[in-house]
Amino acid sequence: MNEEVRALVNEGLFYDNLLKLVDLCDARFDTNPSVYGSLSHIFQKLSDEYDGQAILTERFETIRRALQAPMHNLLIAVEEDDPHIIDRLDDVWRAFRGVLY
């Protein structure tokens, strides 16, 4: 179920991928509101920052390094129905907060 979301996250948080990810997470919202609502919000905030334009490579890499692994781990936890999903979600939020301006 999360394969497409995971693939796009692993491919990179590029503007076009972010827009797709918002739609995918919104479509999955009812299956796990905490996870997919959070991810949708984060992807939307990042797409707003990119605003359809290029961002500095350094900024993109900072975002990628901070968010890619925690998001991947969260999505794996959801697939495996891991009892520590909230911990993985907290990791994503901490990473996101770390890259906010």
Domain extents in the chain: 3-99
Mean pLDDT (whole number) for 70-92: 96
DSSP state of 29: G
5 close to 25: Cβ distance less than 8 angstroms? yes
**Whether the Cβ atoms of residue 35 and residue 85 lie closer than 8 Å to each other:** yes
Q: In this predicted model, what pLDDT tens digit does every residue of 36-61 receive, in sequence order?
A: 999 999 999 999 998 878 788 999 99
**pLDDT, tens only, 3-36:** 999 999 999 999 999 999 999 999 999 999 999 9
**62-87 b/e (C-beta count within 10 Å ≥ 16 → b):** ebeebbbebbbbbbebbeeeeeebee
- pLDDT band per the 50, 70, 90 thresholds, residue 1: low
**What was the pLDDT predicted at 54?**
77
Q: Who's near 60: CB < 8 A, 6+ residues apart?
A: 13
